[in-house]
Each structure stands twice: as C-alpha cells, then as structure tokens.
C-alpha cells in the first residue's frame, strides 16, 4: 500500500518564491502600492490572476481588464527572466535526497502546483523524471486553498486522500491539504504555517526516519 507524496513547487522544491516576489514587487512599485514580504505571504500558492487582484486590493486600485492583462504579461516575462539560467543549483537544500529516498522506498511522487511554469522548471532542474504525476496551474480551475490541485494529484496516483501527504510553503496550500483530509507538512516559518500537521524550517530538517514514519 503506497503513499502519495505530493509536493508544491515554488518555495518547496525550488527557490523561486523570491523571484515571484521580486516580479510582483516591481508591478506594485509601478502602481505606487506598498508591497512587503508580509503581504507576499498572501500570494504564495495563489494563482497569477488572483495574485494581481490581491495587490490591486491592497492599493485600492480598480483597473480595466486590459491593464490587468498587460501587468500579468509583464509579471510573467519578468519572472521568466530570472529562470533563464536555471539549473539543478536552484533546487532547495535537502530536497533531492528526500525525493530520491521516497523513490527508493517505492512510494509515489506527484507535483501539486498553482504555477503554469511548473514543467519547464522541472525540466531545467533535471527532476521531471522523478514525478509519477504532475498537476499544475494549467490543469486546475480552483486555486488553493481549494483542494482541487491535490485531489487531482491523488486521483492520478490512485491514492486515497488519507494516504496522501502534502509538502507546502504557503498558508493557502496547507489549508488546501487539510481540507482534502491529507497530511499537511509545512516548509517554512512555524508562526505562519501553524495550521500544518508537521512543520520544518526547510528540507535539511527532514530525515529518512521521518519519511519512513509516514510510510509505515
Ligand atoms: C505558485 C506560487 C505563486 C504563483 C503561482 C502561479 O503557487 O507560489 O507565487 O503566483 O504559483 O505561478 P505562475 O508561474 O503560473 O505565475
Ligand atoms: Mg509554494
């Protein structure tokens, strides 16, 4: 009876959360909106379109669809410019050994990300082949905290929700995992991710014994 290990991408597997932040900050600055790292926590795990709406709400700005589309394109182009030279080095410390250990133990691995840029990132970092299923921003209609992305991943792996584990760095993602009745594992600050069942500062704090305890 295999377990399904579902990973978020940005801020969990790769260190791209900082690039999303920089790109959004540029848009916000352009619009004269103050946008801090604390504000940015609300954007983590959230779709591109919703992220822009949150920033506009922060600045109490009403914009036309045309302007919004323009900013969304600008944000993504700026974000992608940070990824041009992306390689294995962008994988966060401790992640690769854990992915490999899960494989070694014959368990299932899926991606559950809101990003539409997920596949090229997995390709550039050379880990695409470790995934048994990929669900990303191109596949879902409801953004986290809606559990759709994780439910689809578990479905593709033919795994029951209660046999699925979710690694997440965002509040929205932890809430999505919890509402799907999956085991939520927060990666980051325990003050922010306190709704998670388990919390680790980063993957260097996760050892093989912990993964084994989840399997058995
Ligand atoms: C992830 C990130 C968000 C990002 C979203 C959409 O959930 O945490 O910061 O906005 O994906 O990503 P995309 O690459 O499609 O703009
Ligand atoms: Mg994330």
pLDDT digits 0-9 by tens, 26-77: 999 999 999 999 999 999 989 999 999 999 999 999 999 999 999 999 999 9
Atom of ligand 1 nearest to the CA of 76: 16
Ligand 1-lining residues (CB < 6 angstroms): 10-11, 20, 43-48, 51, 76, 113-117, 137, 170
**Residues 135, 156 contacting (CB under 8 angstroms):** yes
**Segments in the chain below pLDDT 50:** none
Determine which residue's CA is closest to atom 2 belonging to ligand 1. 45
- Known catalytic residue at 169: no
DSSP string of 51-87?
HHHHHHHHTT----HHHHHHHHHHHHHHHHHHHTT--
How far is ligand 2, taken at its centre, from the CA of residue 169, in Å?
A: 5
**pLDDT recorded at residue 1:** 81
**Residues 204, 93 contacting (CB under 8 angstroms):** yes
**Residues 162, 3 contacting (CB under 8 angstroms):** no
Nearest 5°: phi and psi at 7? -110, 130
Own/partner pairs for 21-27, CB < 8 Å, 24+ apart? 22/78, 22/82, 23/75, 23/76, 23/78, 23/79, 23/82, 24/51, 24/55, 24/75, 26/75, 26/78, 27/52, 27/55, 27/71, 27/74, 27/75
**Residues 141, 148 contacting (CB under 8 angstroms):** yes
Dihedral, CA of residue 162, residue 174, residue 135 and residue 98, to nearest 10: -80
Atom of ligand 1 nearest to the CA of 51: 10
**pLDDT recorded at residue 216:** 85
Largest CA distance in the chain: 54
Ligand nearest to the CA of 8: 2
**pLDDT recorded at residue 108:** 98
pTM confidence score? 0.95
């Amino acid at each position: 009876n295999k377990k399904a290990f579902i990973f978020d991408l940005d801020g969990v597997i790769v260190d791209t959360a900082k690039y999303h932040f920089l790109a959004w900050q540029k848009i916000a600055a352009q619009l004269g909106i103050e946008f801090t790292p604390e504000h940015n926590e609300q954007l983590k795990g959230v779709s591109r379109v919703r992220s822009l709406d949150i920033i506009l709400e922060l600045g109490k700005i009403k914009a036309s669809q045309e302007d919004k589309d323009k900013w969304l394109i600008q944000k993504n182009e700026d974000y992608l410019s940070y990824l041009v030279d992306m390689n294995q080095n962008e994988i966060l410390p401790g992640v690769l050994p854990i992915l490999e250990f899960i494989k070694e133990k014959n368990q299932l691995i899926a991606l559950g990300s809101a990003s539409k840029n997920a596949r090229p990132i997995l390709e550039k970092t050379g880990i695409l082949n470790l995934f048994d299923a990929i669900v990303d921003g191109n596949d879902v209609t409801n953004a986290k905290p809606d559990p759709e992305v994780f439910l689809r991943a578990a479905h593709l792996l033919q795994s029951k929700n209660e046999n699925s584990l979710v690694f997440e760095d965002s509040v929205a993602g932890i809430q999505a995992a919890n509402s799907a009745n999956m085991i939520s594992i927060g990666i980051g600050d325990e003050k922010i991710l306190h709704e998670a069942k388990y919390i680790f500062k980063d993957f260097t704090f996760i050892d093989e014994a912990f993964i084994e305890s989840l399997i058995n």
